[in-house]
Amino acid sequence: MTKHRGFTIVVIFLCFGLVAHAEPKSNEQWIEYFLDQISGIRVEISRLETDGVVEELRRDQALEEKIDHLTRSVEKLTELVDEQRVLIEELRSSTSN
């Protein structure tokens, strides 16, 4: 999420809260209200950051699985090449005799 989009959500959230709670409040009540709103926003930001980290970890895990698969494939190909080398050497030695 971009910072601009996050800021827009925060502003809408605060404005909606002001309209929804249009009853008269004391300064102390307003301070408490805004602190509650800020706490809620912090929780939401943390959740969004956590979701981003989880998604990144999933991508990393998928890449690791692909790398493991490719590594196994390379190992199998190496074994096949080694077997072919042995066969070629055997053919060379049998034709030179």
CA distance to 47, 65, 70, 87, per residue, from 94 (Å) = 70, 44, 36, 10
Tell me the pLDDT tens digit for each residue of 33-61.
888 888 888 888 888 888 888 889 899 99
Q: Residue 20: give the domain boundaries.
A: 3-96
How many domains, in total, are found in the chain?
1
Rounded Cα distance, 37 and 16, in Å? 11
Q: What is the pTM of this model?
A: 0.47
Average pLDDT, rounded, for the chain: 82
pLDDT at 7 over 70: no
